[in-house]
A and B are shown apart, each in its own frame.
Chain A
Amino acid sequence: MLTVHEIDVFIQASHILRRVSLEVGAREVVCLVGRNGAGKSTTLRTIMGYLRPRSGRVELRGQPIQGRRTHEIAALGLGWAPEDSGIFTDLTVAENIEIATWTRRGGRPAAERLDLAYGVFPVLRRYMTRKGPEMSGGERKMLSIARALALDPEMLLLDEPFEGLSPTIIPSVSDGIAQITRLGHAVLLAESNIHHVPEYTTRLYVIERGEIVFAGTLDDAWRDATVLRIIGGTR
């Protein structure tokens, strides 16, 4: 589905990502784990086309997408739920979700996509006429993911979906994500806390100072001393 091959990314003069490679297959759930500032968001933002790799390739279904515009990449079927949620606060919850059914045509009909989005986070149905400022951080996060889902993407990029959420709301967000993976969407999830990595994760990459230092299953990661030193102690 998605292949990132040895990308080097610079932000001005700083070398942020060094030969980062990762792979997400169809229906796979892949986690990119690392500390704050390790390069998780930069990797995701590069995939979404906000940043251009200086070298390396990003391919979606075998088609190179590095250097393309963000809206084109989204239209190719990559849904994105950013770290700061990025919901449109002037719009109602319903409008936030509906908009994605218009911007990417084809695929499933709009009504079906809306059912899917609300089906994953049923609580949003109760807030349909609310606007951004009236929502909690957890609700914004759910809306952000639901909106990305309404785009009917083949794959979702979720940037720290549990970041800054109260422990009471984390279960409903993680249930929603589990449901999304059961629907057959590929997922690339960035996370700073290995305790938040879902157990059904297909593969896990650990990123440290802009380099991938580990790739393997969650069980292997728990047995790896280096991995635990980097990300195990953040509970």
Chain B
Amino acid sequence: MTGPLVVAAAVVAIALAPLVASTYHVLLMLPFMAYAVVLLGLNLLLGYAGLVSFGHALFIGIGAYTGAFLTSHFKIRSLEVILIAAAALGALVAAPVGALCVRYVKIYFGMLTLAFGMVFYTFVLKFYRLTGGDEGTPFLRPSLLGRSLEAMPKTDYLVGPYYYYSLGVVVVATLCMWRIVHSPFGLCLKTIRDNPAKAETLGIGVTRFRFHAFVISAVYAAVGGALLGPPIGNVDPTLAYWTHSGNIVFMTLLGGFTSFFGPVVGAFVFIYLQNWVMSVVPYWRLIFGAILAAIVIFAPGGLLGLVRPGRAAVRAAGRRGAGAPPAESRP
């Protein structure tokens, strides 16, 4: 099994990055880790339940604004409290939104989530007195594990304690999601994606399972959204705009929604590629549009999909030789 080794190596590499990489690149890792959490959740919905949401920036916005409100208006600086509040609010908003959306599938589901996302965007944009409108709300520096860290220079704080705190959140979120998708619940979601009508004949309440997947993905998006705030220091409505929802779907496709870690890889590649392309040409959206088209046409399985068929073939050969097939086929 090379899978766990690769994952462990990746975590070690991320942990060591601040020691070797430039501060600039280390700072880019912060949005990557926040998006990693968002995408783990989004992929439960997209990859496992087969529902494409174009409104998850709504929940990123909920998480980010929760942090901004708590630090700016309520003098609550503890990041633990912020993350728990973001998760709770994400679930609270996702419950009614999800209950409506999961009654529909395919394009209707996508359009409905898009509509809810736009309602929220307009709300935070127009309720100036509450949200600061297009100027946004400051996300003051949160304390970590009860330590204020207010005296630290901002960069030292971000590449030091905050970096490792984010990494910790990503690891915990990954372990939880791994448990979820490998539980009976995760397996039921896959049957629903495969064939909802037949899943029903096994006693699976399709709508209820989709609803649970929706709420879990919203909680992940809210937690990831809260993590996005501190590096920016200010939360504004663009976080909740529909193009942001589009970006995270793009990240998922880029990395490959058919594998567990595909979307996380997609987030990493997206952020560093965007950063590089923007430094070379001003029209990064043009380039990214072409990349998206190429991915959909030539590599529907995403970047990890390009790696995996080779491995599958190697395994199949081993299976024929040894007679005893390996137990786990998804990495």
Chain A hits for B190, CB < 8 A = 88, 90-91
Question: Which residues in B have their C-beta under 8 angstroms from that of A80?
Answer: 201
Contact of A86 with B195 in the complex, beta carbons under 8 Å = yes
Whole-angstrom CA separation of A71 from B200 in the bound complex: 4
Q: Does B331 contact A (CB under 8 A)?
A: no
A129: B residues at CB distance < 8 A? 325-327, 329
A151 in the interface (beta carbon within 8 A) = yes
Number of A-B contacts (CB under 8 A): 76
Which positions 46-68 of chain A face chain B at CB distance < 8 Å?
A: 48, 50
Q: Identify A91's interface contact among B194, B201, B206, B325, CB under 8 A.
A: B194
Partner of A90, one of B193, B203, B205, B326: B193
Contact (Cβ within 8 A) B205 A69: yes
Per-position binary interface string of chain B over residues 137-152, scored 1 when its CB falls under 8 Å from any chain A CB and 0 otherwise:
0000000000000000
Binds B, one of A98-106, A200-208, A218-226: A98-106
Set of chain B residues within 8 Å of A72, measured between Cβ atoms:
203, 205
Would you call B308 an interface residue if the criterion is a C-beta within 8 Å of the partner chain's C-beta atoms?
no
Does A163 lie at the interface of the complex (its beta carbon under 8 Å from any beta carbon of B)? Answer: no
List B residues 188-205 near A (Cβ within 8 Å): 188, 190-191, 193-195, 197-205
Q: A140 in the interface, Cβ–Cβ < 8 Å?
A: no
Interface contact B204-A71, CB-CB below 8 Å: yes
- B194: which A residues are within 8 A, CB to CB? 88-91
In the complex, the answer to whether B203 meets A103 with C-beta atoms within 8 Å is yes
In the bound complex, how far is the Cα of B325 from the Cα of A63, in angstroms?
A: 46
Q: Is A92 an interface residue (CB 8 A)?
A: yes
Residues of A within 8 A of B199 (CB): 71, 88
Q: Name which residue of chain B comes closest to A130, CB basis.
A: B325
Whether the pair A82, B193 counts as a contact (CB closer than 8 A) is: no
Q: Pick the contact of A71: B184, B206, B325, B326 (CB < 8 A).
A: B206
B200–A86 CB distance below 8 A? no
Assembled-state Cα–Cα distance A69/B190 (Å): 20
Whether A74 pairs with B325 at a CB distance below 8 angstroms is: no
A131 to B194, CA, bound (A): 13
Give 1 or 0 for each of B197-229: 1 = CB within 8 Å of chain A CB.
111111111100000000000000000000000
| Min C-beta distance of A103 to chain B, whole Å | 4
- The secondary-structure label for the interface of chain B is helix
Which residues does chain A contribute within 8 Å of B195, judged by CB atoms?
86, 88
Does A95 have its Cβ within 8 Å of any Cβ on chain B?
yes
Instruction: Tell me, yes or no, whether B187 is within 8 Å of chain A by CB.
Output: yes
Q: Is the CB of A99 within 8 A of B197?
A: no
**Taking the complex as formed, is A147 at the interface, i.e. its CB lies under 8 A from any CB of chain B?**
yes
Q: Does A70 contact B (CB under 8 A)?
A: yes
Is residue A170 within 8 Å, beta carbon to beta carbon, of the partner chain? no
A197 contacts the other chain (CB 8 A): no
Return B254 CB to nearest CB of chain A, in Å. Answer: 22
A48 near B201 with CB under 8 A, answer: yes
Separation in Å of the A228 CB from the closest CB of chain B?
A: 34
On chain B, the residues within 8 Å of A116 by CB distance are none
B195 CB to nearest chain A CB (Å) = 6
List CB contacts (< 8 Å) of A90-118 with chain B: 90-92, 95, 98-100, 102-104
A75 at the interface (CB under 8 A from B): yes
User: Could you list 30 examples of A-B contacts with CB < 8 Å?
Assistant: A70-B201, A71-B199, A71-B200, A71-B206, A72-B203, A74-B202, A74-B203, A80-B201, A86-B197, A86-B198, A86-B201, A88-B191, A88-B195, A90-B190, A90-B193, A90-B194, A91-B190, A91-B194, A92-B329, A98-B184, A99-B184, A99-B188, A99-B204, A103-B184, A103-B204, A104-B202, A129-B327, A131-B329, A147-B202, A151-B203
Ordered nearest first, which 4 A-B pairs have the shortest CB separation? Answer: A70-B200, A102-B184, A86-B198, A103-B203
- Measuring CB to CB, which residues of chain A are less than 8 angstroms from any residue of chain B? 48, 50, 69-72, 74-75, 80, 82, 86-92, 95, 98-100, 102-104, 129-131, 147-148, 151
Which residues from chain B sit less than 8 Å from chain A, CB to CB? 184, 187-188, 190-191, 193-195, 197-206, 325-327, 329
